[in-house]
Amino acid sequence: MARGGQRKDRDEPERKCIVTGEAQPQSGLIRFVVSPDGVVVPDIMGKLPGRGMWVTAERDVLEKAGKGQFARSAKMPVTVPDGLVDEVERQLVRRVTDMIALARKAGLAVAGFEKVKSWLSDRPIRVLLQSSDGSERGKSKLWTPEGARYFDCLTTLELGLAFGRQTVIHGALATGGLSNRVVEEATKLKGMRADNGGNSASGKD
């Protein structure tokens, strides 16, 4: 298993982190490019033109990249914007909530304690989602099925946004391609928030 909880997949391209020097599946890293005016830009979607610089999706590693690693990798002077790491986190939150919303519209996601409990009892679940700031007592009453993933890296407001509600504490995603993409992006967000105040996250296999 690679750094950050990513499994190595022989069919998945690997990239080397410019900070740790470790090669790992592309899904466990954040891609950056240098804009025409020399500014380091995060490429969360992996579609921006230019030579990519890959960094492990962990806050402490990304912070180190801003202390000279980007310039060394680009082999030129670059500007690292203030708050770059926070911007990466913000974009990952948007990415994860957008994909959960897509899964909801496709009938692959549900929110609310009773609905989640029902799904856990009678259908294959890929992801159990619980808010980082929800009641621990309430969250402990639900379980992560074998082979599923558990994430608590979103707040009640962020989960609410994903499900089209004001707030959400409990959510679940059924098995499917969209759910696998949520796992991939939420794993990155988990790494970004692992040591970031109250938004700590944990994942279980």
Q: Summarize pLDDT for 56-81 with one digit per residue, the tens.
A: 999 999 999 988 999 999 999 999 99
Q: pTM of the entire structure?
A: 0.86
Rounded distance, CA 59 to CA 30, Å? Answer: 11
Q: For the chain, which ranges sit under pLDDT 70? A: 1-11, 195-205
The whole-number pLDDT of residue 27 equals 85
- Encoded tokens for 53: 């610089």
Rounded distance, CA 103 to CA 163, Å? Answer: 9
| Residues 6 or more apart in contact with residue 183 via CB below 8 angstroms | 126, 127, 149
- CB-CB neighbours of 78 under 10 Å: 20
- CB-CB neighbours of 84 under 10 Å: 20
The whole-number pLDDT of residue 194 equals 81
- Encoded tokens for 44: 């969360």
- What are the structural domains, with CATH classification, of the chain? 3-81 (3.30.1230.10), 86-193 (3.30.1330.30)
